[in-house]
Each structure stands twice: as structure tokens, then as C-alpha cells.
Chains A and B, each alone.
Chain A
Amino acid sequence: MLRWLIGGGREPQGLAEKAALQTIGEDQGQNPYTELLVLEAHRDIVRFLVRLDDFRFASAGDDGIIVVWNAQTGEKLLELRGHTQKITAVIAFPPLDSCEASSQLLLTASADRTVGVWDCDTGRQIQRVTCFQSTVKCLTVLQRLDIWLSGGSDLGVWNRKLDLLCKTSHLSDTGISALVEIPGNCVAAAVGRELIIFRLVTPTEELPEWDIIEVKRLLDHQDNILSLANINDTGFVTGSHVGELLIWDALDWTVQACERTFWSPTAQLDAQQEIKLFQKQNDISINHFTCDEENIFAAVGRGLYVYNLQLKRVIACQKTAHDSNILHIDKLPNRQLISCSEDGAVRMWEVREKQQLAAEPVPTGFFNMWGFGRVNKQASQPVKKQEENVTTCSLELIGDLIGHSSSVEMFLYFEDHGLVTCSADHLIILWKNGERESGVRSLKLFQKLEENGDLYPESP
């Protein structure tokens, strides 16, 4: 009786989810990942993955430990211990091109109000900065100027030797949630729902000191800014908690485009829709962006949207891409997109074009040929309206990777070694192309045969 009730209670919910959720069976011919390696080292949520070079990456999370891994073999290379609380930001600081002797640096910010600097080759902690008044929430490297920025309750500018060059005054209790470099020695910082533009003043003979000054405050967002990303050095994009997507010009910081229609195509509001809006507040928050030459890919709630920069509109979307909020997305070659979500799934999508575009110009041409003035005018308006409402591409689900038992926080893509995902279940999973890995192993085996002359492993 009890079991039946439990089963009965669960079944309707499952059915509802199935109706709404995009699903795919086991027919995943385009999914190349048929091998996985589970990497265990962390004892708490793993939130960050940072690529160090072609075969190494670092992972960090709420246990305060940073681990360096070999992406090819899954071998743990280093374990960096020093932080006493969770890590809040991780970034790699590449060596100067002119100086080959120096090694890769890794910058880590923690809730213990310190920033650690580590040598990626030896695992040694070079230095620790402990003068912060609050938690550093984001780190940014300006490779061109060989400096890095720390964003917390204020914005600090540091050099490679960890000298504080200059910093701003206390901005707000909220603190900086995102930082991005924009042209003209400028930096865009998200502070609550304000977007503040800072300009870095580099030392000159007249003024030998660094300086950073606030240039402008942009107050166009209605709610907190959650995501901030660069677009080809000509602009940048911001997303907010209420689903506002704003595209800014990188030079004069003016709004180039605005999109506020993610949650509903109809502008009309009534009492019933207000209730819906309230219930699905989370569904419209823009959590993450990724961009390429033509499109902005946005994670909105648990849906995916493709916004075309030229057409200035959404050309493809998948409103129920996941069961829960999407936390990270990235663009892969071959027009593929990967998204990971709080529901523990990692999904692969492909942007495919539809054939409807080709039919559109015909009616206009037809009416023009007749030469009726009045008729021409009437025909033109319906055509325009039709264009506005039609989506010209589609997001097709081509694969899903089921392995984590909890929220997938982030992932990393290696061209040669596959995909790396990290999760709240404390695990990191290496997803590999089985066929490719098999071939690599064969080559290594034959190479070993040539070198050693036999097969037997050396045992102690």
C-alpha cells in the first residue's frame, strides 16, 4: 500500500517533467564520448576548472584545495593546499613571451580574504596576498599590460610581483561580481545592477604612478547583472536577473541592442499572466554567455537561446533544454554547443538551419511586378511582421552525458583529450572519445614494443 502510494505520487510528476523536458534516447551517433574516467580528490563542491596548457588543467572548489590534473591520462599531478576556506575565483597567469624561463602562475581567491599565487610546475606557493578588506569574487588578467585585477568591495590593480599598483575606493557592499577588459585601457565592472566603466592610467614621465579612475556609471539594467562577456573587441554584453540582455558599444558604452522578450512573446499583461511570471521568476535569469563571430549564446533559466548579432534577434531557442538552471555553456567547433545544469546532466546541441528563409522574398517580388501602388503598400507590411515572428534556426539535442549525481558547475573542453566536467558531488569526470583513445593506445603500445622489445611491465 505504502509503496503504491509512493509510486503513484511520483508518477504524475515524472510524466509532467517528461512532457516539458527535451529528451534523447540511446541513439546518439554524433556523441563521440564512450569512455569516462572518474577523478576523485576533492571533498566538497568543485566549482572551477581552469585550463593551464594543452594537457593540464586545475580544479578548485569549496574545500579550499586546488588540484592540477593531466587531461590525457587522468593522473593527478599536483595538490595545492593553503587556503582555509572555499575558493571564490581561479585564473591562470601565463608567462611573458619574452621570458621563457618563467613558469605558468595560478591565481586563486578565497573566502578567507586572501589571494594565493602558485607555481604550476612545482606546486609551490610563491606568495599570498592578505591585505583584502573583503572576499575577492573575481580575478582578471590583462595580458597586454602584464597586470591582474582583483574585484571585491573595491577594484585592485596588481603586477606580476604582487605589488599593489593602485585601487579604487569602496564601491558598495555588494561588491564586483564580474570584470571584463574593454578597449582603451578600460575595464567594465558589474556592481549590483550598475555597470561601472574604469580607465587605467599607465605610468608616464609626468605621472610615474599607476592610477584607476571611474569614467562612467551605466544604469540601464532593472535588476542585478549576472553575466558579462566580451564580443570581438567591438562590444560587450550583459545579462540580468530579470532576463534583460543588453549589447553595448565598446567605445562609447552606449546600448546597441536590447532584448527583453525571453519570458513571453506577448507584451500584454493580465492578472493570470502576472501569476505565471511570479512563479517562473528563475526561468528568465541570464546565467552565462558565450560568443562567436556571429552569435551570442545565452543560458536563460533552464533554456538556451541563440541571439544573432546581425539580425539583432533570437534565431533559435530551446526553452526546456534542462531540468534545472543552466550554469555554464560553451561553444565547440562544428556549430556545437555544450551546456551543463543543476540537474546533473551535460548536454550537447547542434545549431541547424531551417529552409524557411528561402521562401520569404518571393511574395514581395510578386506584388512589385504587378505595379499596384496600394496593393504594394499593404503587402509590404504583412511581410515585415512575418519576419519578426519566425525563428530561422533550431537547436537539436545530439547527446547527453550522464555521470554526475549532483549539479554540474562547469566544464572544460580540450580538442585532443575530450571534455572535463566538475560537480557538486565532489567529482571530476573526464569524457573521452573512445575510438580516438583506442587508436592512441595502440600507437603507444607499438611504440613501447619497439623501444623495450617486450611487453612486460617493469615490476618492483
Chain B
Amino acid sequence: MISAPDVVAFTKEDEYEEEPYNEPALPEEYSVPLFPYASQGANPWSKLSGAKFSRDFILISEFSEQVGPQPLLTIPNDTKVFGTFDLNYFSLRIMSVDYQASFVGHPPGSAYPKLNFVEDSKVVLGDSKEGAFAYVHHLTLYDLEARGFVRPFCMAYISADQHKIMQQFQELSAEFSKASECLKMGNRKAFAGELEKKLKDLDYTRTVLHTETEIQKKANDKGFYSSQAIEKANELANVEKSIIEHQDLLRQIRSYPRQKTKIPDLQPGDTEHTQDQADQVSTTSNPEESANADLYTCRPAYTPKLIKAKSTKCFDKKLKTLEELCDTEYFTQTLAQLSHIEHMFRGDLCYLLTSQIDRVLRKQQPITNFLFEDFVEVDDRMEKQENVPSQPSQDRLPPKPVEECPIPKVLISVGSYKSSVESVLIKMEQELGDEEYTGVEATEARSFDPQENLDYLDMDMKGSISSGESIEVLGTEKSASVLSKSDSQASLTVPLSPHVVRSKAVSHRTISEDSIEVLSTCPSEALIPDDFKASYPSAINEEEAYADNEGAIHFQASAGSPEPDETQEGNLENIPSQIDSSCCIGKESEGHLVPLPTPAYTLSDEDSVVSIPPQRYIQKDQGLHVDFGVENTDPSPRDNSCEMFPAYELDPSCLLASRDVSKMSLDNYSDTTSYMGSAASTSSDRIPSAPPAGLSSERHKKRAGQNALKFIRQYPFAHPAIYSLLSGRTLVVLGEDETIVRKLVTALSIFVPNYGCYAKPVKHWISSPLHIMDFQKWKLIGLQRVASPANVGTLHTLSRYSRYTSILDLDSKTLRCPLYRGTLVPRLADHRTQIKRGSTYYLHVQSMLTQLCSKAFLYTFCHHLHLPAHSEETQEAVASRQTSFLKLNLGLVNEDIRVVQYLAELLKLHYMQESPGTTHPLLRFDYVPSFLYKI
């Protein structure tokens, strides 16, 4: 039985050479239990405890039939990303199970090789000890030189944040499906090409063999055949059989879309087509008989060499690389897609959700997005990323020496207790009997096809039953794939950690219905002691739910709506894992072996995810904390600041009077220079200069967001300060330490609206007394405090112009600013926000400001608000209508009205200017008293 599939795949001569290989196969059966240890080395615990990775990444793995599961490449392709994380071990875990699905699709005993178009499977699994959780996408590619023509691969998005992967499962699935489809299209193309070449070789070989056969017949006119003649005839028969088989494969691969949907209907037609094709080949070879005879005379040594070489290559040749397997063009596209995916899902879960809201809001309002310039920059950068694919690079690790035979593993790992499975076993025995009876006759071998179909349908039925029971969201094919995966997972997990088994037992108790159902099927004493631990998992689950709800607090309803679905899906996936755990325990007690896996084994991986919620939660927090620490201690912020300041300190008004030039400090001079540089880039093509700015900008935003968070947490009066910026009142940050002042100014600049599509009106550092023009030009100013007579003049100027400014004194920790009683800024800058990361908070601010721009847009462009209803209507009536709209329709209270009015004025000024850059900045102010805030 073991050698049966090999026979049908190769010529008779190959069969002879195959025999010695069969003997080593038997010892493989006994060595399977040792496989997990071998892959990890002598001490598995040391590797487990040491594994860490600093950032999410994508891993592509293959189950190599020569060396077993191995990682092929990572995206980004940088060892800093995954650090000491054991890629080999993780590849083993996520890759081993998939082979079962692929192999099951190729049932043994069939007369003809049949391509099984296995649908991709998508699962989430994790290893709590490694602190790694992964979305795993399994796919199957075809290789003519591989066993059964199939080679299993998987792509995994690996993260330390399980919650992130669960929440983004749908998005990850959609994106990875695109990459997978790209690979498979390339693979089908390459596979078809390979088949065509093979058919040409076989046709040539057949011609040569046919000629030799004829010669042999002539030599033996006496009426009997020599042994050599018989041998040649057999070779010819085998070649012809191979031709038929390869033609069938080619037809299957080319009819992929049709066969996928209408398999039963195509079978008879395909059979007829095959017959016709064989006849055509025979007809073609006959007229060239005499020519081939001459060829034979000239090249008597070619034929044996060809056949022998092929035989040798089958055993010793290295398998194709992924790039060769999928056609270079498709491979390149896939890598670009994966790089895009990696970039797309960077950051924590809050970052991703807010970013999605951000993009949706921004697309809906191009008219107002100049107010906060960063939107345009982000959008441009993302588009650029999509258009330009990354350079393809393949980092393949050396293959492992351990060689594995998958067939025995199947027998050992499969287990079941249901009568329906036993009936399958009986059926398989019948098939074996039939095979022995029919021998090698082609005609009778062909008759096995109908039976194959029956087996296939039977499998479908099992999948349907399984999905009906436990997994509603996964398709039939997915169920089959997942079934196999769990087998391997179980076999790997049990020897490693008995604790895991116990955890599984504990987990299943949380779902009483399933527990009862399973208990009735396979009772076991081991379950009884675990009953007393049920309360603990329940508490954990409740705590987890609470965390989810808390996370939703910070976002709008639109942000919250995806979450219920994710949670529900998670719950659905949790249920099957409970069943699986008890079955696993039952398996230990009974030890039955059957050829096909059962649905119950599908979700042991899910169980491992669910079984230790507290550890994942703690790990997640620790990870975030570490990131925060790294950001704080990172020396690069200074470099970033130096790089970023010129861009943000550009003078919006390039028309400086000569007197101002003489008064300018070094910073002012550099500002003018920067502005000229910027103007030059504006006039010329901006594309070359955009990428570095984009990169710097990204880091700058993260830094600004982080510092803004600190400001909000540290200063109770952050709200009136931010209100000043949003309403166009200049905020002066006063301090002695330039570094601290600059840092805070950079952070607060994210709240400053723009006048147009050029630099923000932010001035990071000034040491000379302020002038009325400074307040017209700048909305956020860092001012130096000097303990000298000159300081008196500076402070006197500030007090004189107190009508136009709010003063944030960093040295005495005070703020002089008008009163703020709105509700907008508290939502924008919540002192008790749960957001931890700078980039996340930055996106939060942007989305809130985008909503604010929407209100400004509505207010600006409603005709009936600004135009008199009739000629006799008074100005008071118009003003009253405007106020009513702002309060009732837009829901603004107190000072928030002023913010929207200010943004509306900026919109009007922007769209009324004749040409860009000629706008006269306007200083708008109110006669409102200032108050002194203290910590």
C-alpha cells in the first residue's frame, strides 16, 4: 500500500529503482515520535524562553518533503524584526498540519493521479510561551516533481497582540487572499508550462522506443520475442501511460475554473477528450516511422541516457524555489502585496482602527482637508507605496537534514470513535482488493474514476456535517484543511507540555452544552478533577470582555461596530476547541487508528489560544510597556527634531520687510532659507523630494503624538491651551530651556490649523520681543525667557498684546488663557485616555479634527445661513439663525462655536484667494478676559 502512489507516478524503470527506497521508509514509521525533539535541538525549553520579536512581521513557510517544514523568507527581510524568535520552530508548528489536508485530497489507491484544487485555509493560532500569535493562511501549489504533484505553503502574519489579529481577521483574510491568488495564478501558469515540456519529452521518448521495438521484431522473424524486445515493449507501454496521465493533468490545470464548480458533469466529456488526444498522438507518430529509424541509427545512445537521467533527477534533484514555482512576475507581485500588507497592519489595534476611520472620513471631504495638512501627505505616501512594489528578495534558511515520510504519520496521528469513520475504513479495504485483481491494464484502471468521485463526495459530506455542528463561518474545504492541521498540532503539543492538556480540559467546562455532548461520547476519569476549576476560566473570559468594551470607549460608533462581529466570531471559534480538547483526551485512552481525521480535531490550535487568556493579556501589556520605554530612551528624537524643524518653521509670508531681515535671529534666517528651498521644490517636480519628507514626517508624527499625550496627562489646563490653537488665538510657549520648549511646540503643532497648502504657522523658537506681525503670522510660538534687562521688554510686550495671545509658562507651570467650557476639546484630548502610543493618539487627533472640519464645511456652505431670507431681514436675524444652526444642528456648546466659526473663515479665505500664496494672513481676535491657570 505504501508504494502504490509512487508506481502510478513514474515509469516502470523508476519502479525498479524505487524498491530499495521502500525499505528505509519502514524505519521512518518508528522515528516519527522523535521528530518534534529533533527539530528543536537538545534543549527545547531554552529556545522557547528566549524567543522574542520586536515587531509584527510576515513569514512564508514550506513543508519541504526533503527536510520538513522550513521558513523561506520574512517581510520585512531583516533579522532585527524577528530577533531571537525561532522561525524554524514556528514554521514547524504552523506548517506541519497543512500537509495532511493536501495529502488527504489525493487519496491512495487511485489509478490516475488527480489534482485536488484545495481551497486556502485561514486560521488564527498562537503560542503563548513564545508570545506569538499568527494569522495563518495555508495554500497549495503544484509541482510536477513533487510527490502527488503538490507542495504545501503557508503565509503567516505574526504579532504579539492576539487581540489585534482577532479584530483584524477579516481584513487580514482579504489581503492575504489576494497575495495567495497571485501566487496560485503564477503557479498554474508555470505548472502548465512544465507539463507541456514533459509531454514533448515523453512523445519523443515514445517515438524512439517505438522504433527500437520495430527493429527488435524484425530481428526475430522466427516467431518468438527476445527478452529485450519484451522489455522495450513494456517501456513503451509505460511511456504511453505517462503521456495519457500528463495530458490529463494538463487538462485539469487548464480547466481550473470550470472543474471547481462542475466536477461531476465534466467527467464523461473529459474522458472522451482524452481518448481523442491519444489517437491523434498515435497518428502523428506513424508517418515519421522511417525518419525515426534513421534517427535511431545516428543516435543509438540518446534514449537510455534520457530515461536514466530522468530517473536520477527524480531522487536527487533539488526542488524548485518558490520563485521558480510561481513564475517570476507573479512572485514579484506577491512580494509587493505582502510588503503592502505588512505596512498596512503596522501599529497597534487602536492605530489600525483609527487609521481606517481616518481614511473613510478624509475621502469624503477633499474640500476641507487642507486645514490639517498632514492628511494630504499621508494619503500621497500610501498611494506611492501601493504603486511601487518593493524589491523582491528571498531569504531562504538552510534545509534541515531530517527527512520525513508523511504517509506513516497519517496513520499514527489519525484517531476517531464514530461508526461512520469505521465504515470509511472498510471501504478503503475494498479498494485495495480491487486494485490487486485488476493489475496494470489501462482499460480497467480507468474504471476507477467513478469510485474516486464517490470518495470525494463522501468527504464533502463529512465537511458539511462538521461545519454545521461547530463552524459556521468556514467553508467545506476550509474545514477539511483545518481538520488535518489539528492532528499534527495535537501530536506536537502533547509531548511538549502536559499542562496544555489540562488547560484544554479546564477550558471546555466553560461551555456546558458541548461538554455534556462530548462526555456522553467518550467518558474519562481525567475530566472529573477539572470540574472544580470551571470558575477561573469564566472569570478570565469576563475580564477579557470588559477589556474589549473599555477599548471601544475611545472611538465613535462606526469604530465600535466591527468589534461585535469580531467578538462573535471569536466566540464561535472558541466553542469547537472545547470539543476538541475532550476528544484529544479520549484519544489517549483508546488509541484507535483510522485513515481519515475527524472534525473534532480541527481546532486544537484554537484551544491553545483560548486556554491561557491571562498570560496573553499580561504579555500584551508588557510588550506595550517595553515599546514605550524604548521610545523614551531613543536618542534619535533629537536628530528627528533637527530634521523636522525647518519644514515646520517655514514662514507662510515670504514678503519680509528689510527691517525684519536685520532683526532676524539665526533661526529666522534659516527659516527664510528653508522657505526658499521649499519654493524651489514647489516650482520643480516635487516627486523626488517627497519620499524622504514622508519618512521623516511619519516619525515626526509619532513623536508629536507621544509628546502631546504627555502634555495632556501632565497639565490639567491642556484643554484651554488647545482651544486657543483651534480658535486661532496665538499660543506662546515660554521657557528657558530651548529643547523642552521646542519639543512641546512640535507636539502642539498637530492642533494648529493651516492657512492653505503650505507650512503650518508654527514658530518653534524666538528670543527677541514679539511684534504684532508675529501674531498675525504665527499661531504657535516658542519664546525664550532670559533673566536679563531684555527680558523685561519681552514680558512687557506679552502683557501689552495679551488680547491676542495665550501664554503657557513652562518654568512656572502656568497658563494665561481665556475660559473654555466646551465639550469638543475634552473628547479630543482626554486626560484619562487609554491610548498609549504616540502614533495611535496622532491618528485619534486627526480623525477628531476631520469630523470638526465636516462641521465647518456644513456651516460654511449652507446658503440659507449667510444670505438674508428677504431684503428686509435684519443682520440680527441672520446672526440669530447662524447661532441656532451651530447650537442645535451641529451640537456645539459655548466656546466650541468659536472654533467652528474660525475654521469656516479659513475655508472662505482659502477659496477666495486669486492664486496660492498671495493670501494675507488675517489676525482675528475677541475681546475676552484671560484667566490664570495653575497646576
Contacts and interface: CB of A to CB of B under 8 A. Distances in A.
Interface stretch (A20-28, A155-163, A165-173, A383-391): A20-28
Interface stretch (A133-141, A259-267, A398-406): A398-406
Interface in A23-54: 25-29, 31, 34-38, 40-41, 43
B920 A402 contact: no
For chain A, the bracket of interface size reads 35 or more
B924 interface: yes
B797 A25 contact: no
Given A40-B773, A429-B772, A435-B879, A457 B923 contact: no
B301 interface: no
Contacts of A37: 776, 920, 922-923
A405 B659 CA distance: 15
B911 interface: yes
A403 to B, nearest CB: 5
Contacts of B901: 438
Contacts of A28: 927
Interface in A89-144: none
A402 B866 contact: no
A15 interface: no
A272 interface: no
A445 B863 CA distance: 10
B43 interface: no
Given A6-B789, A38-B923, A403 B913 contact: no
Nearest to B926: A34
Nearest to B772: A403
A446 B863 contact: yes
B915 interface: yes
Nearest to B757: A459
Among A3, A73, A402, A442, max chain B CB count under 10 A is at A442
A106 to B, nearest CB: 23
B867 interface: yes
Given A402-B801, A445-B908, A38 B860 contact: no
A377 interface: no
Contacts of A444: 908, 912
Interface in A429-451: 429, 434-435, 438-439, 441-446, 448
A446 B911 contact: no
B914 interface: yes
A345 to B, nearest CB: 10
A399 B925 CA distance: 14
B920 A34 contact: no
Contacts of B875: 435, 439
A6 B660 CA distance: 29
Interface in B877-916: 878-879, 901, 905, 908-916
Given A37-B920, A446-B863, A3 B787 contact: yes
A404 B776 CA distance: 13
B291 interface: no
B928 interface: yes
Nearest to B803: A402
B771 interface: yes
A186 B395 CA distance: 103
A252 interface: no
A74 B912 CA distance: 14
B867 A443 contact: yes
A36 B776 CA distance: 8
A40 B920 CA distance: 11
A335 interface: no
Interface in B740-776: 771-773, 776
A36 B911 contact: no
Interface string A397-429: 001001111000000000000000000001101
Contacts of B776: 36-38
A405 B772 contact: yes
Contacts of A36: 772, 776, 922-923, 925
A434 B920 contact: no
Contact of A438 (B861, B905, B928, B929): B905
Nearest to B773: A38
A79 B477 CA distance: 81
Given A73-B920, A457-B915, A442 B908 contact: yes
A441 B912 contact: yes
Contact of A459 (B659, B792, B911, B915): B915
B230 interface: no
Among B659, B912, B916, max chain A CB count under 10 A is at B912
Contacts of A427: 772-773
Contacts of B800: 402, 405
B657 interface: yes
A371 B912 CA distance: 78
Given A426-B657, A443-B866, A34 B911 contact: no
A362 interface: no
A319 to B, nearest CB: 23
A458 interface: yes
Nearest to A459: B916
Interface in B422-437: none
B367 interface: yes
A10 B773 contact: no
A455 interface: yes
Interface string B182-217: 000000000000000000000000000000000000
Contacts of A361: none
B860 A445 contact: yes
Given A427-B773, A446-B866, A74 B927 contact: no
B658 interface: yes
B309 interface: no
A27 B927 CA distance: 6
Contacts of A29: 927
A382 interface: no
A184 interface: no
Contacts of A453: none
B454 interface: no
B787 A40 contact: no
Contact of B866 (A74, A399, A439): A439
B803 A441 contact: no
Contacts of B630: none
Interface in A292-336: none
Among B773, B797, B801, max chain A CB count under 10 A is at B773
B935 interface: no
Contacts of B913: 457
A457 B916 contact: yes
A406 to B, nearest CB: 11
Given A38-B772, A405-B797, A10 B792 contact: yes
Nearest to A445: B908
A123 to B, nearest CB: 19
Contacts of A399: 927
A6 B912 contact: no
B655 interface: yes
A41 to B, nearest CB: 8
A121 B340 CA distance: 61
A460 interface: yes
Contacts of A27: 927, 929
A37 to B, nearest CB: 6
Contacts of B914: 457-458
Contact of B772 (A404, A435, A446): A404
Given A34-B926, A439-B878, A40 B657 contact: yes
A455 B910 CA distance: 9
6 contacts: A3-B787, A28-B927, A38-B776, A443-B866, A446-B867, A457-B910
Given A426-B659, A458-B915, 9 more contacts: A6-B789, A35-B923, A41-B657, A442-B908, A445-B860, A445-B912, A446-B863, A448-B912, A457-B914
The list of the 10 closest CB pairs from A to B, nearest first, reads: A442-B866, A441-B908, A28-B927, A26-B929, A26-B927, A40-B657, A455-B911, A403-B772, A36-B923, A38-B776
Interface of A: 3, 6, 10, 25-29, 31, 34-38, 40-41, 43, 73-75, 399, 402-405, 426-427, 429, 434-435, 438-439, 441-446, 448, 455-460
